[in-house]
């Protein structure tokens, strides 16, 4: 009961913060504009097609159509290596196969339906209306000619970690989820002259079941749709039967989410003799998902490691008294050395009983021999945690195993790299700060050499807000939460004025900002990374809804929000997840680890005085050709000029008092720096 209560609580949180996007000021969440995982997959597919375009075919045989499938038909989307459905079972690939958009599925992996196409972009970005066709998942033809009483069964969930589908509006329309069966044959109809016309081999879809949204998320529930012997003149028991699922909603984004799982078509009893993993284990670290290799291995392991591996298991069988699992456990594998570091069970473990149709989280003690971990040539480490469950009568063994990667790269990260929502604040002024604690001793002078933001603005330069959202990226040594000090600026270690969301040069969806001069981690070993904004807009930073510091419903106390914008009113976030902001820290000499120099934010100039009555002096650190562009805070370019002098002056006295953004571009290297300037006459 406690775990299903989480779905209700999270649904209430989503409803509240969605309303904040359009109403009151403060923290807010909103659906994704696009899906970066699918967008990156699309790039891979297009690149592969381009490579194969001019290559000769590998065979000269004639292609043939696939033979029809047979019952039992089953797919629970478990451990699929692709983000698309299994093409041996399904005709199309519109839905997103994942394990992050759902909450407590029957087995690991679901198919998510929303308003994004197979490439991760909206079906229609300009049509923000409900009641329109969105995702579809269609089975391949199935031979039912020797069947007579089959049933389609599946589990469905409204919302999950995404925006829940809407209930009936003032127009009576609601988002919906449909099941349709195919009718294929020859049809006769009257043409416009009143004559009979015949159409051969036409597929016609008949709606057999539907459900509607209700503006809130739900647990998974099972649906049974019998395949009738006849439906009017239609005979479903033929050799090319098909079924499909369709979502009806808003086609302009990651909206009106439905999660589908455990699809089954057969004439067998409803029982499922199946014990399944529902999700992979959490990180082996705490409170982080990943840490810099050099930082972790120069600190006390006990400070940042978990003492348990968690098995999330679901008994999908309704057998009275439950079922026992034996054995169950995990392996932690070093992928660099290709060896097992630690395994469970050892000795003589006991069987564990799970009640019918119940899920449980089973903690198992773990102690990784960290000193045996191997580093690769880039001074990183990569572990794989394999969790598993065994049930002697198990019908579906593919869902018995789950995998979780544990990477030690160069950054502190709370998030798992997958954004379920967008995060921001709605304020005339305000800020967000994420706290990081470096576990090394004061004898290790760590340096912060880069930070990273995950933006949900998509990759289209015409995306609303691109170039119009100006904010300041900051690193603080501390933030003021007691309300008695208005001088927030004295805690700022580093600041980039006048930034806007970047849509290029991203690493796994993250934009990397490399400091022109690395800065030392404070002696307190605590620092904060985030942003402040002086105008009202929604920045739309990635938000990992699956992160939990304490439990799935408790606020994340490592995130702070300045609602007033004074720097003296920082408050703990009210949300349980985490904004996707990372900090790159190194104990040894700073390296850029293959990150392109173009990603480095150029800070090689001085500008003074600032504020000014309109005349500003520029002093460049290095000779070169530079272009200076002046923007107002709405993103309109007001002035542009170039220089090749190391010392130059800018006359902006003709412009009114106010805040402006000066963009300085090194035309030789392409590096860009933005500086907020103030004209005050």
pLDDT exceeds cutoff 50 at 430: yes
Say if residue 287's pLDDT is above 70.
yes
Q: Is 490 helix (H, G, I), strand (E, B) or coil?
A: helix
Classify residue 23: in a domain, yes or no. Answer: no
201 and 134, same structural domain?
yes
Question: Which tokens go with 347?
Answer: 């000795």
Distance, CA of 555 to CA of 598 (rounded, Å): 37
Number of H helices, E strands in the chain: 3, 42
The CATH number of the domain holding residue 198 is 2.60.120.260
Beta bridge partners of 544: 578
582 and 615 in one domain? no
Same domain, 652 and 669: yes
Task: Look up the CATH number of the domain holding residue 304.
Answer: 2.60.40
Please report, to the nearest 10 degrees, the dihedral formed by the alpha carbons of residues 471, 475, 481, 483 taken in order.
-60
In a shared domain, residues 215 and 316? no
Residue 466 clears pLDDT 70, i.e. is over it: no
Q: Within this chain, do residues 401 and 451 fall inside the same structural domain, yes or no?
A: no
For residue 218, the SS3 value is coil
pLDDT of residue 631: 83
Q: Is 296 within a domain?
A: yes
Single residue among 359, 381, 409 that ends a domain in this structure? 409
Lowest mean pLDDT among 71-75, 245-249, 420-424, 480-484: 480-484
Nearest one of 41, 31, 110, 37 to 417, comparing CA atoms: 37
Overall residue count recorded for the chain in this entry:
681
Does residue 206 fall inside a structural domain?
yes
**Comparing 72-76, 201-205, 301-305, which segment has the lowest mean pLDDT?**
201-205
Asked whether the CA dihedral 603, 606, 609, 615 is positive or negative, the reply is: negative
**Which stretch of 136-140, 304-308, 372-376, 669-673 has the lowest confidence by average pLDDT?**
669-673
Above 50 in pLDDT, residue 4?
no
Nearest to 78 by CA among 105, 43, 115: 105
**Are residue 41 and residue 177 in the same domain, yes or no?**
yes
Q: Is residue 3 part of a domain?
A: no
In Å, what is the CA distance from 376 to each residue of 334, 337, 380, 526? 11, 9, 6, 28
pLDDT value at 675 more than 70 = yes
- Distances from the Cα of 460 to the Cα of 467, 473, 600, angstroms: 12, 23, 22
441 and 567 assigned to the same domain? yes
Q: E strands within 563-679?
A: 570-572, 578-579, 581-586, 605-608, 615-620, 626-632, 637-643, 647-651, 658-666, 672-679
Residues sharing a CB contact under 8 Å with residue 385, sequence separation 6 or more, in sequence order: 280, 281, 284, 309, 330, 331, 332, 333, 403, 404, 405, 406
What residues pair up with 235 in beta bridges, in sequence order? Answer: none
The values of phi and psi at residue 198, to 5°, are -115, 130
Please name the helix (run of DSSP H) or strand (run of DSSP E) that holds residue 8, with its range, or none: helix 2-22
Same domain, 592 and 613: no
Q: Does residue 605 surpass a pLDDT of 50?
A: yes
Lowest-pLDDT choice from 180-194, 313-327, 600-614: 180-194
What distance in Å separates the CA atoms of residue 256 and residue 292, rounded to the nearest whole number? 37
When divided into structural domains, the chain yields a total of: 4
The residue out of 222, 249, 269 marking a domain boundary is: 269
Q: Is residue 17 part of a domain?
A: no
Same domain, 356 and 239: no
CA angle, 87 then 88 then 92, to 5°: 35
Q: What is the mean pLDDT of residues 48-67?
A: 64
Residue 486 has pLDDT above 70, yes or no: no
Same domain, 570 and 654: no
More confident residue, 410 or 503: 410
Q: Are strands 447-454 and 581-586 parallel, antiparallel or unpaired?
A: antiparallel
Query: Mean pLDDT across the chain, nearest whole number?
Result: 83
Tell me the pLDDT band of 598, cut-offs 50, 70 and 90.
Answer: very low
The answer to whether residue 18 is domain-embedded is no
For residue 152, what are its two tokens? 């389609």
**Does residue 597 have a pLDDT over 50?**
no
Domain match, 593 and 631 both: no
Query: Is residue 470 assigned to a domain?
Result: yes
- Please check whether residue 417 is in contact with residue 509, taking contact to mean a CB–CB distance below 8 angstroms: yes
Among candidate residues 537, 567, 599, the one where a domain is terminated: 599
Asked whether residue 143 is domain-assigned, the answer is yes
| pLDDT recorded at residue 487 | 57
Predicted pLDDT of residue 192: 56
Among the ranges given (150-154, 375-379, 478-482, 601-605), the one the predictor scored with the smallest mean pLDDT? 601-605
**Domain that includes residue 182, residue range:** 31-46+66-269
Name the residue with higher pLDDT: 453 or 197. Answer: 453
Cα(677)–Cα(67) distance, integer angstroms: 68
564 plus 619 within the same structural domain: no
Separation between Cα atoms, residue 393 and residue 400, nearest integer Å: 12
Question: 140 phi and psi, to 5 degrees?
Answer: -75, 160
Burial class (CB in 10 A: 0-12, 13-18, 19+), 321: exposed
Tokens of 307: 């003492």
């Amino acid at each position: 009961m406690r775990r299903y209560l989480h779905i209700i609580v999270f649904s209430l949180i989503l409803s509240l913060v969605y309303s904040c996007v359009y109403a009151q000021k403060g923290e807010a969440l909103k659906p994704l504009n696009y899906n970066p995982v699918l967008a990156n997959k699309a790039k891979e597919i297009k690149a592969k097609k381009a490579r194969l375009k001019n290559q000769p075919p590998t065979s000269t045989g004639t292609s043939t159509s696939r033979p029809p499938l047979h019952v039992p038909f089953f797919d629970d989307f478990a451990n699929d290596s692709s983000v698309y459905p299994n093409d041996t079972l399904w005709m199309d690939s519109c839905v997103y196969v994942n394990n992050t958009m759902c909450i407590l599925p029957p087995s690991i992996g679901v198919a998510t339906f929303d308003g994004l196409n197979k490439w991760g972009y909206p079906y229609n970005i300009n049509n923000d209306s409900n009641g329109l066709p969105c995702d579809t998942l269609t089975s391949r033809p199935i031979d039912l000619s020797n069947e007579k009483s089959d049933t389609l069964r599946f589990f469905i969930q409204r919302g999950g970690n995404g925006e829940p589908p809407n209930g009936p509006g003032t127009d009576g329309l609601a988002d919906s989820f449909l099941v349709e069966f195919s009718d294929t044959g020859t049809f006769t109809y009257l043409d416009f002259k009143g004559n009979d016309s015949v159409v051969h081999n036409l597929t016609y879809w008949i709606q057999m079941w539907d459900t509607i949204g209700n503006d809130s998320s739900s647990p998974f529930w099972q649906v049974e749709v019998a395949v009738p012997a006849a439906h009017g003149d239609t005979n479903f028991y033929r050799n090319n039967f098909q079924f499909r699922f369709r979502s009806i909603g808003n086609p302009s984004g990651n909206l009106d989410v439905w999660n589908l799982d455990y699809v089954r078509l057969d004439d067998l009893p409803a029982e499922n003799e199946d014990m399944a993993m529902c999700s992979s284990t959490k990180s082996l670290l705490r409170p982080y998902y990943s840490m810099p290799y050099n930082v972790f291995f120069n600190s006390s392991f006990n400070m940042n490691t978990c003492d348990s591996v968690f098995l999330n298991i679901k008994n999908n069988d309704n057998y009275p008294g439950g079922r026992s699992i034996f054995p169950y456990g995990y392996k932690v594998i070093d992928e660099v050395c290709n060896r097992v570091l630690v395994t469970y069970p050892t000795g003589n473990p006991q069987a564990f009983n799970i009640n019918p149709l119940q899920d449980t989280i089973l903690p198992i003690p773990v102690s990784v021999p960290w000193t045996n971990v191997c580093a690769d040539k880039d001074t990183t480490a990569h572990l794989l945690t394999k969790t598993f469950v065994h049930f002697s009568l198990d019908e579906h063994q593919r869902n018995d195993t789950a995998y979780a990667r544990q990477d030690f790269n160069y950054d502190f990260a709370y998030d798992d790299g997958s954004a379920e929502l967008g995060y921001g604040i709605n304020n005339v002024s305000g800020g967000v700060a994420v706290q990081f604690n470096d576990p090394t001793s004061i004898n290790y002078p760590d340096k912060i050499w880069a930070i990273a933001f995950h933006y949900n603005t998509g990759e289209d330069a015409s995306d609303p807000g691109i170039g119009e959202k100006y904010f300041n990226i900051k690193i603080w040594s501390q933030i003021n939460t007691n309300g008695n000090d208005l001088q927030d600026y004295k805690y700022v270690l580093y600041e980039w004025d006048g930034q806007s969301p970047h849509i290029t040069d991203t690493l796994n969806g993250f934009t990397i900002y490399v400091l022109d001069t690395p800065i030392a981690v404070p002696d307190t070993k605590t620092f904060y990374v985030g942003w402040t904004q002086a105008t009202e807009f929604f920045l739309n930073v990635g938000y990992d809804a699956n992160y939990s510091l304490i439990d799935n419903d408790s606020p994340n106390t490592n995130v702070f929000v300045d609602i007033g914008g004074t720097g003296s009113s920082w408050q703990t976030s009210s949300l349980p997840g985490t904004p996707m902001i990372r900090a790159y820290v190194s104990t040894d000499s700073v390296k850029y680890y293959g990150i392109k120099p173009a990603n480095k934010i150029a800070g090689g100039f001085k500008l003074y005085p600032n504020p000014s009555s309109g005349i500003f002096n520029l002093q460049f650190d290095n000779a070169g050709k530079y272009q200076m562009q002046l923007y107002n805070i709405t993103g309109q370019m007001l002035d542009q000029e170039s220089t090749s002098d190391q010392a130059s002056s800018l006359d902006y006295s003709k412009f009114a008092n106010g805040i402006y953004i000066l963009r300085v571009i090194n035309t030789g290297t392409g590096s860009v720096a933005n500086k907020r300037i103030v004209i005050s006459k």
